[in-house]
Every structure is written in C-alpha cells, then in structure tokens.
Amino acid sequence: MPATAAATDTRTITFREALREAMVGEMRRDERVFLIGEEVAQYNGAYKVSQGMLDEFGPKRIIDTPISESGFSGLALGAAMCGLRPIVEFMSWSFSLVAADQILNNAPKMLYMSGGQWGAPVVFRGNDGAGGQLGSTHSWCVEALYSNVPGLKMAIPSNPADAKGLLTTAIRDDDPVFFLESERMLSDTGPVPEGDYTVPFGAAALRREGTDCTLVSFGRPVNFCLEACDALEADGITCDLLDMRTIRPLDAESIVESLKKTNRIVVVDQSWPFASIASEVIAQVCERAFDWLDAAPRRVNTDDVPTPYAKNLEAAYLPNADKIVAAVRSLLGR
Amino acid sequence: MPKRVAYTAKIEFIQILDENGRFDAALAEGGLADEQAVALLEHLILCRHYDEIAFKLQRSGRMGTYPQNKGQEAIAATALAVTRDDWMVPCYRENPALFLHGLPMEHILLHWMGDERGNQIPEGVNVMPISIPIGTHMLHAAGIAWAQRLRQTGNVALTYFGDGATSEGDFHEAMNFATVMRAPCVFLCQNNQWAISVPREKQMASETVAQKGLAYGAECVQVDGNDVYAVYHATKAAVDRARADGTVTLIECLTYRLGDHTTADDARRYRDPKELEAWTKRDPILRLRTHLTAKGLWDDAKEAAAQDAAKERVARVVKNAEGIAKPSTDDIFDYTFATLPDGLRAQKESMRTHSLALEPGQETLRRAEAQHA
Ligand SMILES: Cc1ncc(C[n+]2csc(CCOP(=O)(O)OP(=O)(O)O)c2C)c(N)n1
Ligand SMILES: [Mg+2]
C-alpha cells in the first residue's frame, strides 16, 4: 500500500473521484495550484474528473480555455515560471500532440536551459491509451514517445489509491510531471485512503508474489496481468507482478531483484513495441542482470500498427490476459 | 507627425432569405435556380432524417458516438458552388455537403459505427476523410490547394471547421500559408455558437470569426448560415475567385447546433432553452420550405413524397451499412504501410492464429503435435 502520511480511513471510491480528491486537496492546501483545460470548469470536465471544482474554487482557479492545446500548455508553463503550480488537463493525451513544442521542447528543458533559474512545476494530465473505439488519432499511448525526453517525470497509475497518491506527489513536485490516466479506468472502484497522502515516484509496487516469472507492467495493463496471474495460478504457475507506477523515474532495482528470483521476465505495455517502455525495461535487464536470465525476455505490446477503430480489430490489437498467459507459458515451455 | 489610418476594414453580412420569409431577389440574381432550390430542399429533408436515424442508432447501441448535424444542413449549398473535381476537406459536421459531393451515405454511418472503411473514399469522389484532431485538416486543405495550383488542375479546395477550431494555431497557420502562397482554398467556418459547452464569446473576444481572416489578407465575409441562398452566393463567389487567381476567402456561416455536441453530450445542462427556441425558428429547412411553398414550388404532396423518399433511402443505407461484414484483422496490417514489411507480415500471421482462438506462440498446438507423433 502507498505510504500514508495523514491518511486515515479507507473507503471505496472511483478512480475519477480519487483524482479529484488529489486535486481538491492540493488546491485547498496550496493557493498556487490551479486547473486549466478544455471543459474543465463549467462542464465539470469532459470526463467529469473536475466535477464541482468550479463551485468550490471559482473561475480564477478552474479555468475553461479555447480549443488551443499549445496555447494553454504554454500559458501554464509561463505561470509556473512565475511561481504558480498549474495542472493542465488534456481531454486526451492524443490532443497534446498539437502542443508538442510547449510540453516537450519547452517545459522539460526550461530549468536546464536557464541554468537552474526557471523551473517548470506543471502537471499535465489526461486520458491515455485506447479509450474504446475512438480511432487511431484519438487513442494515443504517449508514454514511449514522451518519456524519451529528459527533464520530465511520468506517472501512470493502475488503481484509484495510487491515482490519488501519485497525483498528489505530482502536484507537489518541482518538475514537469506527465500524468497518464485511462478513460477505461475512470469508473473503476477501489479502496482509497481519506485525507492527504503521497505515493513516492520511482517505487514499484509488488502486486503478486511468485517464483516462475516476473511480470512488469504499468497503468491499465496491470489489471490484465492480475487476470493472467489468476489464470496461471490455477495451473500452478506463479508470478511476481511489478506495477511500476512511474515510468520516469523507473524502479529498475525492483525489476532486477525480482528477476534474480524468477529468472524469467515478461513486460506488458499497451503501446507499440518499437522503442517502447517494454523495450527499455528489457534493455536495462540485459545490461544489469543478463546472467540471471534463463530464457529470452518477452514483450507483450500492441501490434505495430495504428490503433484500429473497429471493435473486433481494436480488441485483437490490444494486450490482454490471454496474450500474457501465452507469453508466460511460452517462456516456461508449459 | 499627424496620425494616419494604417488599415481599415469592414465585414459584410450576407442574407438573401431571412427568417421572416423576406427574399432579396436582386442579390439572389444568378444564384440558385428554382429547380436547384427544390432539389436542395429534398436533400435537406433527407439529411435531417438521416441525422435523426443516426441518433437513434446510437441510442439503441447500434452505433458509437455521433455528432448531429441538425440545424446546420444549409451547408449543403456549398456543394452546389463547386465542380465534382474540387476537393472537400471536412471535419465532422457537414454531412449534407459531403453527400451532395458524392460521398455515399453509408460511409458516414460506417465511420461512426467504428469502422475505418467509412473513411475509404470511393475513387472519383474528392472528399477527404473526417478529421477528429480539431484544426489539423485545415493545413491539409492549404496543401491540397497548393497541389492543385502546381498541377494546374484548376481545382479548388474547400475546408470546413467550427468556431472553436479557429482557436487552434493550425487555423491561423493554414490561413497564412494559403494567402501567402495564393493556394486556391476556401475556408468555411460553421459558427454554430458552441464548441461543446464553450459559447462563442468565451472562445474568442473578436466580434466575428470572419474578421480573423483580415489579418492574413484573405477576403472575409459573414453569411446567414441557415439561408441556403446566402451560403451558395458567398461560396460561389469565393470558389470563383480562388479558381481565377488563387484569392483565399474565409466565410463565416452563422448557424446553430440544434442538437447536442455529440450523443455523449447533453446540451440542456449548459444552454438556455430560450436560445434553442429562437434558433429553432431559424431552422434552414423550415425557412426554405416556407419560401418555396409561397412561390408555388412546394406543397403538401411534395413534402409527403420527400419524407417518404427520405425514409426509404435511409432505411436502405442503414441496412447496407449494417450488412457489411466485420473488417478482417488483415486490414490493420495491410494498410499500415504502402507495402507490407516483413516484421508486420509475421505479426499478421500470428494475429491470424490468435483470431482463431489459438495462442500466438502455438504452444498447445506444438504439444498436441508432439503427443501425436
Ligand atoms: C486537438 C483537439 N482538441 C480537442 C478535441 C476535443 N473536441 C472535439 S470537438 C470539440 C469542439 C469543437 O468545436 P467547434 O470547432 O466549434 O466545432 P463544432 O463541434 O461546434 O461543430 C473539441 C474540443 C479534439 N477533437 N481535438
Ligand atoms: Mg462550434
């Protein structure tokens, strides 16, 4: 479980509510924090994450924008450089692509290029990954593409409790944080501590313990891995399942430690295979623990094609429990 | 030094048929002929029915999210102002124009049913695929127009977008490129007053959308977007200018989204019902019907026939769209590159086995084979 500071009782709430609790909590605590994006105020958020926040904080801190992703990303960066703590909501990370220069070429380099003078403590957050038949331009997984850039942090929670704790950490962080949510998980429920707590960046969570194989994942596919673990356990195969929680920083230590026990690794990642996070994990494993591998590492990614629109094709394209089970079995030869 | 005026401009507003049925015959001169107007009314009735059926298909779970076109059908008149060889570069709320330009009606349904093949435009129909990332397609339109210029085809590109889309940098860059390069492009903004829940005045502080084109040296005009005569008039002039010498025009069609943003939205939560009521009276179909009836060109019998024809046609279109077999998993590999690379060929093969409910590694197959041997 996440490190709990002042957190008290735990109750069951949705992922969406957990995100909101983190933002509301930080906005009450810190006057510098504000939320900006399309439809975040009056409409309560395109996905209702910011429900009620305009009522509580007013239009100076919950800001609806014109449809200008580059515009409000750059504006947030400017505000951050003058001491504010913006949270930028992209309706979908797919739409952040039109703001690429601000979020990739400006925010993560500002501190470096100003010799430590201008920090960029902005949280960019929104839906990432195939939301369910939204077509290829609206179904981006940005993690591989964006995490390539030094100077940014990237968190990708798999459950409501982490969502709240990681987002709180993100808002308090002094660097730009890319926070990746999933439209497909916003209504998921789970136990979430009340009050104020943080989940540290760079600390993977061990979701399952086993001896046969190490499963590494992050975000929504962690849930597919849990399903796969159940199926495999029924056949007497047990896995360590590591939920990375942040990609930048990446807790490679925990992966190597687990691998030394299981000697096999499968990385499950819902983005394209080429130069993906899965590729990065496997590269690091090979560099650090090659002698501990009993079998070639495996990746379970999507297929190397644009996200299909048709229901049957989208389902065939995404990672799922069956594909994970098949990958683990093929490593074990059983 | 005395101050002088460096620049002045004005934006004209064009209306030919107003909501009270007044018709400016002088301005209409040389515009839509009577038989064109009658055929247009039949088309608008067809499109309204199509829109309603699409909405119902979504509500009954037979289609994904759908953005209604209701109230904005007068945009169809733009299709009468171009030749079949001119290009339409759409966003997603101009079905009536696309259909008139030759896009089979099945395609839009297929698209929103979540089938890529909706965007597989038939040969000879100069319509580009629907564009979901707001604003990005306007640059393509500038490029398409530039290609027409270089190839000396004499064709023009028309691009459609909403009021909200003019906040994107791409709109400004596209206008600038088109005007600087004299690319024969017409920019058609359907200012329907809303971008999801954001009203026009929160989207922009400028009084009109049309004036945004002034900064780029484009011809700029605002028209009553619910008046097919005015929409035709302005588009025809713009297309002719573009074709003649590459003059770029920005046309702002003042209209109103009578429906929700999409089927995933409920506009009652943020819109004043009085506003909706006022605009309902300005419905483009109602206006044209009243006008043609007064002129003796339309009557109850024609109305009934048009409604029946619309029902029959849309039923057939829905049947066709729903009758198309699910796409094959091969499609996702075959259309990623112009020629299939080896890596993808391997994935395609493994997907085939997977889609037959066999695991890609084929472990059980191999085991079965081993047992058999
Ligand atoms: C780059 C980008 N940002 C945000 C969105 C989400 N979005 C879809 S439609 C829309 C509103 C568009 O409004 P407008 O341009 O006025 O067109 P209308 O829907 O009113 O026809 C928004 C914000 C998107 N599709 N693409
Ligand atoms: Mg609009």
Domain ranges, ordered by start, for chain A: 12-193, 205-332
Q: What pairs with residue B249 in β-bridges?
A: B186, B219
Using an 8 Å Cβ cutoff, are A276 and A319 in contact?
A: no
**A12-193 carries CATH number 3.40.50.1970:** no
Q: Is residue B311 part of a domain?
A: yes
A63-95 pLDDT, tens digit per residue, is 999 999 999 999 999 999 989 999 999 999 999
Does B291 share its domain with B354?
A: no
Residue B336 and residue A304: Cβ atoms within 8 Å? yes
Same domain for B338 and B297: no
Are A40 and A50 in contact by the 8 Å Cβ rule? The answer is yes
Nearest-Cα distance to chain B for A228, in Å, is 14
- Find, among A311, A207, A78, A140, the residue nearest to B327 by Cα: A311
Same fold, A12-193 and A205-332: yes
Residue B40 lies in a domain: yes
Same domain, B238 and B340: no
pLDDT of residue A6: 56
Residues of B in contact with A304 (CB under 8 A): 336, 343-344, 347
Torsion of Cα atoms, A120 then A125 then A129 then A130, to 10°:
-150
pLDDT at B361: 46
pTM of the model: 0.90
Q: Which of residues 100-159 of B touch A (CB under 8 A)?
A: 114-116, 132-136
- Overall average pLDDT of the A130-155 stretch: 95
Same domain, B307 and B364: no
The whole-number average pLDDT for the span A178-199 is: 97
For residues B287 and B365, membership in a common domain is answered with no
Q: Which of B169, B347, B360 lies closest to A70 in CB terms?
A: B169
Q: How many CA atoms lie within 13 A of B163 on its CB side?
A: 29
CATH assignment of the domain containing B160: 3.40.50.970
Q: Determine the pLDDT at residue B339.
A: 86
pLDDT for B260: 97
What range defines the domain where residue B339 resides?
Answer: 330-372
Average pLDDT over residues A185-209: 98
B259-302 per-position pLDDT tens digit: 999 999 999 999 999 999 999 999 999 999 999 999 999 999 99
pLDDT at B360: 43
Chain B CB within 8 Å of residue A43 CB: yes
- Which pLDDT value is given to residue A2? 45
> Rounded to a whole number, what is the distance in Å from the CA of B335 to chain A's nearest CA?
9
Q: Which residue of B has its CA nearest to A307?
A: B332
A186 in Cβ contact with A163 (< 8 Å)? no
Instruction: Look at A101 and B363; give whichever has higher pLDDT.
Output: A101
The per-residue b/e assignment along A192-219, b for 16 or more CB within 10 angstroms, e otherwise, is bbbebbbbebbebbebbebebbbbbbbb
Distance in angstroms (rounded) separating the CA atoms of residues B195 and B192: 8
Average pLDDT, integer, range A100-115: 94
Is B236 part of any domain?
yes
B29 and B112 together in one domain: yes
**Where do we find the tokens 């003042």?**
B254
Task: Please tell me the total count of domains within chain B.
Answer: 2
Residues B297 and B174 in one domain: yes
Is there a single domain that holds both residue B205 and residue B342? no
Residue B254 shares a structural domain with residue B286: yes
Q: What is the mean pLDDT of residues A303-329?
A: 94
Are B237 and B367 contained in the same domain? Answer: no
B168 touches chain A (CB under 8 A): yes
pLDDT-based confidence at A7, cuts 50/70/90?
low
Residues of chain B with pLDDT under 70: 351-373
How far is residue B131's CA from residue B141's CA, in Å, rounded to a whole number? Answer: 12
For residue A255 the two structure tokens come to 């992966």
Contact: B329, A306; criterion CB under 8 Å: no
Do B260 and B121 belong to one domain? Answer: yes
3-state DSSP call for residue A59? Answer: coil
State the pLDDT at residue B348.
81
In a domain, B367, yes or no: yes
Which pLDDT does position A322 carry in this prediction?
A: 96
Same domain for B312 and B366, yes or no, is no
Site from A95, A136, A309, A324 to mutate, B interface, most B CB atoms within 10 angstroms: A309
Going by C-beta distance under 8 Å and a sequence separation of 6 or more, which residues neighbour residue B246?
B149, B181, B182, B183, B184
What share of chain A in percent tops pLDDT 70?
98
Compute the residue count for chain B: 373
pLDDT (0 to 100) of residue B215? 97
Beta-carbon separation of A317 and B360 below 8 A: no
Residue A97 confidence (pLDDT):
97
Q: Which CATH architecture has domain A205-332?
A: 3-Layer(aba) Sandwich (3.40)
A326 touching chain B per CB within 8 A: yes
Does the beta carbon of A47 sit less than 6 angstroms from any atom of ligand 1? Answer: no
pLDDT for residue B335: 84
